[in-house]
Amino acid sequence: MREVPRGPQARMRRPPPKPTQSTAGPMVFLLVVAILVVGAFVVVRPMVADATVGFVAQHDTLLKQDFVRALIADRVASDVDVALDVRGETKPFVIARGETAGSIGQHLQDQGIVRSALSFEYVLYDEQKEDALQSGTYQVSSAISPRCCRWRFRP
């Protein structure tokens, strides 16, 4: 049989071993955080940009704000100086009295004159000419860009 220690020896226990600390834990944590941040930037940023463009398309007066125009500039920059159809025919276009820049842009898009109503509105607000369009009947073509189209409607 085994002898059981008695007395002061029985009360003395060995201290538990100290846990060894590794530097890999914090490094792994930082790596995971960095991956999440980059992933959020890559995935969330385009979604926010799309939502912003969609919202601005519905509420064109937001284009009066410089920072809003800066947010959507990348999305509309390619359409501002490009004609929809270089062989487009000239046709009459009517601007009714009291029409807003947004409604004019939408009519231009619906009639196949510009690729994007938002690009036309962007040009107007960027040049601060959103209120300078005159009512009347104009001859326009899809062979002109939204920037040039804006000049057709000048006073």
CA-to-CA dists, residue 131 to 10, 135, 153, angstroms: 95, 11, 11
Q: Which residue from 149, 26, 16 is spatially nearest to 82, judged by alpha carbons?
A: 149
Q: Give mean pLDDT, residues 49-71.
A: 84
Q: Give mean pLDDT, residues 87-105.
A: 88
Question: What DSSP letter does each residue of 26-89 carry, written as one string?
Answer: HHHHHHHHHHHHHHHHHHHHHHHHHHHHHHHHH-GGGGGSHHHHHHHHHHHHHHHT--S-TTPP
| Per-residue model confidence as pLDDT tens digits over 21-56 | 667 778 889 999 999 999 888 888 888 888 888 888
Confidence check: pLDDT of 1 > 90: no
What residues does each domain of the chain span? 26-152
What is the Cα–Cα distance from 116 to 63, expressed in whole angstroms?
A: 15
Show the CA angle centred on residue 51, arms to residues 82 and 62, nearest 5°: 70
Q: Give mean pLDDT, residues 90-109.
A: 89
What are the structure tokens assigned to 89, written together? 């025919």
Q: Give mean pLDDT, residues 85-113.
A: 88
- Is this model's pTM higher than 0.85 or not? no
CA-to-CA dists, residue 9 to 12, 14, 17, 56, 73, angstroms: 5, 11, 19, 81, 81
